[in-house]
Chain A
Amino acid sequence: MSYKELKSRIDAQQVTFLDGGIGTEILRRGYTWASHQLKSEPELNLEIHQDYINAGADVITTNTFQLSKRSFRNHFANDEHLEAIGVRGLLDRAGELIHESVALADKARRSLDRDNCLIAASITTLEWCFRPDQSPDVEKIYDEYLEELTDYADAGADIFLFETFNSTPEAEVAIKAAKEIDIPAWVAFVPYQDGRLLGGQSMAEVTDAMARNEPDVLLLNCAPPDHITAGMEQLAPLWDKPLGVYAHVGKFNPPEWQFTDEYSADQHLQECKHWHDLGATVIGGCCGTTPDYIKKLTEFFS
């Protein structure tokens, strides 16, 4: 399937399936996610992508959450300090791993003869996603986004999935850079229990900002189901273009994940049906969800 075909499906309000958690799936399968495991455990990455494709995902996501040059840089006082005490090649690492991640996703779809499955590049905020107070100065980040997106484009990603964004100004810069590269942008924001963004903006502010930037799909993600519901209830009445959701299940146990049985795959499906009723048509799972969760979704909605 080309992106054009996918987009016409999405625009026709047909349900489209994303994959589920990747980092948490690596943890659940007994590995640390400390360095994304892209080079150390490529087979593991490949299997997870394959499992999601087999579960029915139309779009699979690269294992690149929070993988950026800045995230490495952030461990040092400045570049001179990094040069003095950092491991060699650290500033090239994000670009290399981005290429690796897209190649693994591509290998997975080819191995299953599913070239019609599209690859979304997982890109989150430059600073820590749950810390809106640390958001960077948006006047200064365009080139940084452009560089990162160029790596994904060169590697062959089909979609930029800006996910777990906590405010609109940074998302606007990201979309602008995506437009320059001419790869479609989808944007997913983190809602909070009050139905606003984690960073405090109302959904009306979100839709005002997004109307100016026109992402192909506007989504909510990386929050527990009740926060997603609160956000969707606010967002859906204000947005007549494609909407999506992917909630997390379980609890964040830094630096890892606590898997709980609070939302089983069946219960998660019930939540997804509700979000579909509210208007979401692009549906998948975030942290803590597994290929079984996606399989439940695809079996029900297909």
Chain B
Amino acid sequence: MSYKIIKEKLAAKESILLDGGIGSEVLRRGIRWRQHGIEDAPDVIRSIHVDYLEAGVDVLTTHTFNLTKRNFINFFRDEEHMALIGATGLPAKAMELCRTAVSLAKEALAETGMAGTVPLAGSIAPVMHLFRPDLSPPENDCLDHHEECVEVLSDCGVDFIFFEGMNNTREAQAALQATAGFDLPVWMSFVPGMDGNLLNGESLSDVVDLARGNGAEAVLVSAGTIPMITKSLPNIINGSPCGAKAIIGRYNPPSWKPDFYPRFEDTDEVSPEKYAQEVNNWLDQGVQIVGGSSGTTPEHIRAVRKVIG
């Protein structure tokens, strides 16, 4: 159980390095964004994982962010409509892709000889677009959705559940509740808004307390720019395990797709060295877990590794 290594590091107040962007990296490497690139380019996804492992991560994250059944249903009026006009096999597609995504991460661990030493975090996104807290469905829907995601990732053998990019308190609570029947550690990251609070304006420190009180072993902030992340840090740092990772570059979504599309431009505005400096500042402030959100690359993570030592 490689999570034990992380647990010990957390207890010993050692820094923990996560990976960087995966979806944004798939696009940066020229792969078409459909089915997360998993069907078209499994080799590319595996090599992104390998590159992060070789850059020195302590945790590897699965390429399963936003990869859910709901994500496909969202394009249709409802499940019946999807069955009538949707592609063959669509209802089962997301969960199949999730299983493949976990396998690709495991293959990367095996290939680099790091299986058993680097734990695998099963990434789960908010039910709806991570930047649209207003679209988050009622609590019961969130609960059902997240339970289904936790179940498949648990069944695939991830070492812990990593809810990434939670943007409102109600859904965060439902997500934590969804892990109740599973014997897996849980981490949760929150998207900050401009003012250092949660993206929907709710108190970040309150939702962080709630997450800690409901069993989250680490809380993080993610999917904000460096200034947004930096501003939010006082709301999550309290001596318990906490982390931070920022977006670099600028989000460049297409017009028509209603879900998150991880295309980031102008990422060269923040060089790996510059990013590592920012991360170093966060570590000085008491952040223990660091990595990168969309736009960051294995080079950024390698630079951070150098800083952490």
Quote the shortest CB–CB distance from B228 to chain A (angstroms). Answer: 7
Interface string of B111-146 (1 = CB under 8 A from A): 000000000000000000101111000000000000
Which residues of B, 5-43, contact A by the 8 Å Cβ criterion? 32-34
A36 and B255 in contact (CB under 8 A), knowing A87-B250, A252-B86?
A: yes
Q: Which 6 A-B pairs have the closest CB atoms?
A: A253-B87, A66-B256, A87-B252, A75-B253, A258-B87, A254-B75
| Chain B residues in 8 Å Cβ range of A90 | 252
Residues of chain B lying within 8 A (CB to CB) of residue A93: 255
- List residues of chain B with CB within 8 A of the CB of A263: none
Least CB distance, A147 to chain B, in whole angstroms: 15
**Residue B1 CB within 8 A of the other chain:** no
Q: Is the CB of A130 within 8 A of B81?
A: yes
Residue with the highest number of chain B CB atoms closer than 10 Å, among A72, A81, A97, A258: A81
The listed residue with most B CB atoms (<10 A of its CB), out of A67, A131, A223, is A131
Q: Do the beta carbons of A86 and B86 come within 8 Å of each other?
A: no
A260–B265 CA distance with the chains assembled, in angstroms: 36
A264 within 8 A of B: no
Residues of A within 8 A of B85 (CB): 223-224, 248, 251-252
Which of A32, A130, A192, A198 is in CB contact (< 8 Å) with B75? A130
Q: A34-B261, A77-B131, A94-B255 are in contact. Are A251 and B88 (CB under 8 A)?
A: yes
In whole angstroms, how far apart are the Cα atoms of A254 and B74 in the complex? 10
| Residue B266 is within 8 A (CB to CB) of chain A in the complex | yes
For A83, the closest partner residue in chain B by CB is: B194
Contact check, A198 vs B250: say whether CB atoms are below 8 A apart. Answer: no
Report the separation of the CA atoms of residues A86 and B294 in the bound assembly, to the nearest whole angstrom: 12
A12, CB-defined interface residue at 8 Å? no
Residues of B within 8 A of A258 (CB): 87-88
> How many chain-B residues does the 8 Å CB contact rule pick out?
43
Q: Cα distance A132–B78 when bound, in Å?
A: 10
Q: A66-B256, A75-B260, A77-B131 are in contact. List 14 more A-B contacts (CB 8 A).
A: A32-B34, A33-B256, A71-B255, A71-B256, A77-B193, A88-B250, A130-B81, A193-B84, A223-B85, A224-B84, A224-B85, A252-B85, A253-B87, A258-B87
> What 0/1 readout, one digit per residue, does chain A (275-288) give for beta carbons within 8 Å of chain B?
00000000000000
The reply to whether B266 and A87 contact each other, CB–CB distance below 8 Å, is yes
B203 at the interface (CB under 8 A from A): no
Interchain CA distance A32-B31 in the complex, whole Å: 10
Q: How far is the CB of A248 from chain B (nearest CB, A)?
A: 8
Whether the Cβ atoms of A251 and B87 lie closer than 8 Å is yes
B242-279: CB near A (< 8 Å → 1, else 0) gives: 00000100111111111011010110000000000000
Whether B257 pairs with A198 at a CB distance below 8 angstroms is no
Whether the Cβ atoms of B247 and A85 lie closer than 8 Å is: yes
CB neighbours (8 Å) of B263 from chain A are 34
Min CB distance A287 to B, Å, is 10
15 contacts between A and B (CB under 8 A): A34-B254, A75-B129, A75-B261, A77-B193, A81-B194, A85-B250, A87-B250, A90-B252, A130-B77, A198-B77, A248-B85, A252-B85, A252-B87, A253-B90, A255-B75
Nearest CB to that of B258 among chain A residues? A128
Determine the chain A residues whose CB is within 8 A of the CB of B265 once the complex forms: 87
Digitize A236-257: 1 where CB-to-B-CB distance is under 8 Å, 0 elsewhere.
Answer: 0000000000001001111110
Taken together as a complex, chains A and B put the C-alpha atoms of A69 and B237 apart, in Å, by: 38
Give the docked Cα–Cα distance between A35 and B254 (Å). 5
Q: A74-B132, A84-B225, A128-B75 are in contact. Are A253 and B86 (CB under 8 A)?
A: yes
Residues in chain A near residue B224, CB distance under 8 A: 85
Residues of B within 8 A of A248 (CB): 85
Give the docked Cα–Cα distance between A193 and B84 (Å). Answer: 9
Contact in complex: B87, A66 (CB < 8 Å): no
B84/A255 in contact, CB under 8 A: no
Q: In angstroms, how far is the closest chain A Cβ from the Cβ of B95?
A: 16
Residue A3, interface by CB 8 Å: no
Answer yes or no: A301 CB below 8 A from chain B CBs. no
- CB pair A131 B77 closer than 8 Å: yes
**Beta-carbon nearest neighbor of A133 in chain B:** B77
Q: Are B194 and A67 in contact (CB under 8 A)?
A: no
Q: Name the CB-closest residue of B to A223.
A: B85
Contacts of B34 in A (CB 8 A): 32, 255-256
Q: Does B72 contact A (CB under 8 A)?
A: yes
Q: Is A221 among interface residues, defined by CB-CB distance under 8 A?
A: no
CB contact list, A58-107 vs B, under 8 A: 65-68, 71-72, 74-77, 80-81, 84-88, 90, 93-94, 97
On whether the beta carbons of B250 and A72 are closer than 8 Å, the reply is: no
B33, B81, B133, B258 — most chain A CB neighbours (10 Å): B258
- Kindly state whether residue B200 has any CB partner on chain A within 8 Å: yes
In chain B, positions 210-230 with a C-beta closer than 8 Å to chain A are 224-225, 228
CB distance from A170 to the nearest CB of B (A): 15
A72/B194 in contact, CB under 8 A: no
CB distance from A99 to the nearest CB of B (A): 14
For A252, what are the chain B residues with a Cβ–Cβ distance below 8 Å?
75-76, 85-87
